[in-house]
Chain A
Amino acid sequence: MKLTDIVAADAVITDLKATNKEEAIREIVNSLRLAGKVAAEHTDAIISAIMKREELGSTGIGRGVAVPHTKHTSVDSIVATVALSVNGLDFAALDGEDVHIIFLLISPPDRPGEHLRGLETITRHLKSDDFCSFLRQSKTPEQVIDLLKEGDEKQF
């Protein structure tokens, strides 16, 4: 699985307006809706499901990265996108750091293997300081996608 296979380029956000977790999730899911990746009638349910998942434990996984996610019957393959917050958001991450990079993921239910591969794919390159640093410096969605392509093509 490649990052560019699952990340919806048209929904990438490089300047999140949100100032908290819920606003951020709402902004990102709405961006997926505008990109045609999420149906309008399912948007609210998906936002609620992602917030419910956050209540079980933060998806802030350290290094300024969060991976909010849910499973939803309206998608038949993984839908994901990237959003960057310049000022950072409090996700109650394990390492206490504010989150600047958000990979939001919606997976089809009953395919746990695919969800796991999606998480693996996303985290594979985020372990690299360079990759995280370059991602945070991206100013346009095109720069983000170029970086993801680079990540797909070689190891950081």
Chain B
Amino acid sequence: MPVATGSDSLEMNNSNHIPTEPSLVRREVLVKNANGLHLLPCSLIARTVKEFDGTVKLFRGSQSANAKSIMDVIQLGAVCGTELVIEVEGHGASELMDRLEQLFADEFMTDR
């Protein structure tokens, strides 16, 4: 079975040859906003993933959080400079991942 090389992408296809949208997407993000993942960013994340019919997890090292739970995400204690891994699984995973990545890139809009 050929293995994809030369790519940093962690996106995986659930089919070997048919180019379908990946159902499991994993990306690294950096917490850039000065106040870290306090309640407002956690709430924005939870609201963004609320309607998603799949699973969304945030990892800080070996600690994981269900992104649909504000309390879970707060427990990561992610201060400014923390590297996290987002894992989205389900239909429309890439699109949701883009939106989540944008939230981090925009420093959650209200928290620059």
Contacts and interface: CB of A to CB of B under 8 A. Distances in A.
Contact of B36 (A69, A94, A112, A126): A112
A58 B110 CA distance: 14
B7 to A, nearest CB: 35
Given A112-B79, A120-B77, A62 B71 contact: yes
A6 to B, nearest CB: 15
A51 to B, nearest CB: 15
Interface string A28-66: 000000000000000000000000000011110111010
A135 to B, nearest CB: 14
A127 B71 contact: yes
B47 A116 contact: no
B102 interface: no
B46 interface: yes
Contacts, number: 61
Contacts of B50: 94
Interface residues of A, number: 22
A127 B40 contact: no
Contacts of B35: 112, 115-116
A56 B110 CA distance: 8
A126 B70 CA distance: 11
A55 B69 CA distance: 21
A139 interface: no
B91 interface: no
A62 B69 contact: yes
B47 A94 contact: yes
The 4 closest A-B pairs by CB, nearest first: A112-B35, A61-B70, A123-B71, A123-B74
Interface of B: 34-40, 42-44, 46-47, 50, 69-72, 74-75, 77, 79-80, 110
Interface of A: 56-59, 61-63, 65, 67, 69, 94, 112-113, 115-117, 119-120, 123-124, 126-127
12 contacts: A61-B42, A65-B71, A94-B46, A94-B50, A112-B34, A112-B38, A113-B79, A115-B38, A116-B74, A124-B75, A126-B71, A127-B72
